[in-house]
Amino acid sequence: PYGSGNDYLVCIVSTQVAPDPHLLELDNRDITGGALSQRCYLRPCYVYSVGESLIKRRLGALKAVKLDQVIQILVTLLKE
């Protein structure tokens, strides 16, 4: 947390397949508290810090298994 708000660590979520060796498929089985209208893809190699005030709405949250996959990719990238 910074100042009076919270920052969140986020990564790109897209409906487009990209030539990214760390691309993870994302569908409704991977999220809780929301629903996707179509299959999406996570790109964990693109990580950003976003202030809470910039977040307009929450679409859902990753389930633990998918979050663990993202974290594992981040750890691998940081060790390279």
Domain of residue 30 covers 7-79
Tokens linked to 80: 């390279």
1-41 confidence digits (pLDDT tens):
455 668 888 888 999 998 999 999 999 999 999 888 999 99
pLDDT on residue 2: 52
Maximum C-alpha span of the chain: 39
CB 45 within 8 A of CB 78: no
- Does 1 map to a domain? no
- Does 67 map to a domain? yes
34-73 confidence digits (pLDDT tens):
888 999 999 999 988 888 888 888 888 899 999 999 999 9
pLDDT on residue 3: 54
- Does 35 map to a domain? yes
For the chain, what is the domain count?
1
pLDDT on residue 1: 46
- Does 2 map to a domain? no
Q: What is the CATH number of the domain that holds 18?
A: 2.30.30.110
- Does 19 map to a domain? yes
Dihedral over alpha carbons 31, 35, 41, 43 (to 10 degrees): -60
- Does 60 map to a domain? yes
